[in-house]
Amino acid sequence: MSRIRAFTMPKWGIEMTEGTVAEWMVKEGDSFTRGQTLCLIETAKITNEVEAEYDATVRRIMVAGGTEAEPVGALLAVFDEGAHSDDEIDAFIAGFTPAEGGVAQGASKAKVVEPVGAIAGAPERVRVPIETNRPISPEALRLAEEESVDIAAIEGSGRGGRITHQDVVRAMRGPASPVLKGALALPEDDAKVFASPLARRIAALHGIVLAGVAGTGPRGRISKADVLALVPAPANSDGLAPPAFVAGANQPEIVPFDRIRKIVAQRLTQAKQEIPHFYLRLSARADALLDLRKSANLVLGCKASVNDWVVKGCAMALVRHPEVNVQVHGTDIYRFPHADIAIAVAGPKGLVTPVVRQADRMRIDQLAAETRRLIDKAQGKGLGMEDLEGGTFSVSNLGMFGVENFDAIINPPQGAILAVGAAQRQPVETASGGVAFETRIALTLSVDHRAIDGAAGAQFLQTLKTLIEEPQGLFA
């Protein structure tokens, strides 16, 4: 039986309250089939490519692409499985009541894509079927068939290497030539003029034509000195002083917050204002851990990073100190038996914190594989809500950038976050009064004082320090 269907803002995960229609892949009057991409919906952390779960026709689009965010359950479009009249569609819209908890239409994650619009009056395209067993979205396959694009050379940027619509569009455009803003146009780029790049630039700055200039460099190459000899002296009394510098306008480039950065900024501001932070700092000797890491990576055949070992140490310390392994919900404290550790990752659109589930139960090689999987998904914008929800503790590491130490902001509703600095060689006094060098890592624990006392945080840090300095305990 044919019916009119409401297409509403879906809800992916318990923390999602709103989303933005980034772009429609169909327009009013278009008929679509099951599996066809309908639109792109952008949430706080990810962009989802929404696919149809049934065949229908787009009768009304209620929210245009690229507009403001809409709450979960808001009416985005009206689809018709039959041939209902406009009056029936209007009556359906008038009687629609928004309800929270919209259902996703077979969503899969993908990057924001840039569709190729049809050209008015253009002849109908002939689709050449493409047979492939590579993962590819229906819209991407359709475009590749219509434009005769060879997908063999395309590297998919979607989840699991899936080829997206945007990947095909990029392949059609070919490699782009970069344009450098503010770059000086060099008039003497004629290959017949044999000059160094610096000589060409100086000549361009002073309007000197290099054609016919005799070079004194190797094989007659025009050098910097040759061009400077042709630069006229400044017109002043002594002939030596350079002209006075005149500062031009320093106009800013205004870059508004994108949706994800806006949400992150709101959450961080709220966390810093509402959570009474206090900080505990210490450093741990890391030489034994660094030696063990090299051996373990060879024996286990993995590539566990120093951060993976720190995450493992945190997970084991959290199990021993459950009063730190908590979430704060209003006036209730949730304590957990296992450590679900969120790791801070710099994604293409801002900071994201995917969660390593039950890290305390993993071997180091398993933990390293899981963190690598989450980091790859984060950098490819393939994270789903299931990767981001929850977490009982966070680890943020800036040591790879040479940052010695820093204070991290707690990621609510978690009760604490560990900031990890760079491993540095430092001189220390030996028992005999001499001086030796050792490698130390600075650790700063940011704690929610509403739920965690100072002594509990200090005991957690002491346990973590022991696990780092005596890393054989990480295999217990």
Per-residue H/E/C for the chain: CCCEEEEECECCCCCCCEEEEEEECCCCCCEECCCCEEEEEECCCCEEEEECCCCEEEEEECCCCCCCCEECCCEEEEEECCCCCHHHHHHHHHCCCCCCCECCCCCEECCCCCCCCCCCCCCCCCCCCCCCCCCECHHHHHHHHHHCCCHHHCCCCCHHHCECHHHHHHHHHCCCCCCCCCCCCCCCCCCCCCECHHHHHHHHHHCCCCCCCCCCCHHHCECHHHHHCCCCCCCCCCCCCCCCCCCCCCCCCCCCCCHHHHHHHHHHHHHHHHCCEEEEEEEEECHHHHHHHHHHHHHHCCCCCHHHHHHHHHHHHHHHCCCCCEEEECCEEEECCCCCEEECEEECCEEECCEECCHHHCCHHHHHHHHHHHHHHHHCCCCCHHHHCCCCEEEEECHHHCCCCCCCCCCCCECEEEEEEEEEEEEEECCCCCEEEEEEEEEEEEEECCCCCHHHHHHHHHHHHHHHHCHHHHHC
User: At 165, is the pLDDT very low, low, confident or very high (cuts 50, 70, 90)?
Assistant: confident
Residue boundaries of the structural domains of the chain: 1-109, 125-176, 183-234, 259-475
- What is the percent of the chain with per-residue pLDDT over 70, rounded to a whole number? 84
Residue 266 structure tokens? 């709101």
User: At 180, is the pLDDT very low, low, confident or very high (cuts 50, 70, 90)?
Assistant: very low
**453: amino acid identity, one letter:** D
Does domain 259-475 fall into CATH 3.30.559.10? yes
In this model, does residue 203 exceed pLDDT 90? no
User: At 183, is the pLDDT very low, low, confident or very high (cuts 50, 70, 90)?
Assistant: very low
User: Is 449 a catalytic site residue?
Assistant: yes
**Phi, then psi, of 168 in degrees rounded to 5:** -70, -40
User: At 233, is the pLDDT very low, low, confident or very high (cuts 50, 70, 90)?
Assistant: low
User: Which tens digit of pLDDT belongs to each residue from 426-452?
Assistant: 998 888 888 999 999 999 999 999 999
Quick one: CA dihedral 362, 367, 370, 374, positive or negative? Answer: positive
For residue 128, the tally of other CB atoms under 10 A from its CB is: 11
Quick one: CA dihedral 184, 187, 190, 193, positive or negative? Answer: negative
User: At 234, is the pLDDT very low, low, confident or very high (cuts 50, 70, 90)?
Assistant: low
41 versus 239: the higher-pLDDT residue is 41
Q: Residue 279: beta bridge partners?
A: 446
- Residue 412: asked if its preceding bond is cis (omega within 30°), the reply is no
- Average pLDDT over the chain reads 83
Q: Are 448 and 276 in contact (CB under 8 A)?
A: yes
470 versus 107: the higher-pLDDT residue is 470
Q: Residue 24: beta bridge partners?
A: 39
**256: amino acid identity, one letter:** P
pLDDT at residue 107, rounded to an integer:
36
Comparing C-alpha atoms, which of 199, 193, 229, 230 is closest to residue 212? Answer: 193
Q: Can you tell me the distance from the alpha carbon of 156 to that of 376, in angstroms, rounded to the nearest whole number?
A: 13
User: At 177, is the pLDDT very low, low, confident or very high (cuts 50, 70, 90)?
Assistant: very low
- In this prediction, residues 304-332 reach a mean pLDDT of 95
Cα distance from N-terminal residue to C-terminal residue, the chain: 62
User: At 106, is the pLDDT very low, low, confident or very high (cuts 50, 70, 90)?
Assistant: very low
**Candidates 84, 329, 338, 449; catalytic one:** 449
pLDDT at residue 178, rounded to an integer:
44
> For the chain, what is the largest distance between any 2 Cα atoms, rounded to a whole number of angstroms?
96
In this model, does residue 101 exceed pLDDT 50? no
Q: Are 36 and 54 in contact (CB under 8 A)?
A: no
In this model, does residue 454 exceed pLDDT 60? yes
Residue 287 structure tokens? 């030489």
Q: Can you tell me the distance from the alpha carbon of 206 to that of 222, in angstroms, rounded to the nearest whole number?
A: 15
| Domains 125-176 and 259-475 agree in fold | no
Q: Residue 48: beta bridge partners?
A: 41, 109
Residue in the block written with tokens 């009249």: 85
**65: amino acid identity, one letter:** G
pLDDT at residue 369, rounded to an integer:
94
CATH number belonging to domain 183-234:
4.10.320.10
Alpha-carbon distance values, 248 to 50, 245, 276, 345, 434 (Å): 49, 10, 46, 39, 58
C-alpha angle 85-89-93 in degrees, rounded to nearest 5: 170
In this model, does residue 393 exceed pLDDT 90? yes
CATH number belonging to domain 125-176:
4.10.320.10
User: At 262, is the pLDDT very low, low, confident or very high (cuts 50, 70, 90)?
Assistant: confident
**61: amino acid identity, one letter:** I
CATH number belonging to domain 1-109:
2.40.50.100
In this model, does residue 47 exceed pLDDT 80? no
Q: Can you tell me the distance from the alpha carbon of 88 to that of 104, in angstroms, rounded to the nearest whole number?
A: 25
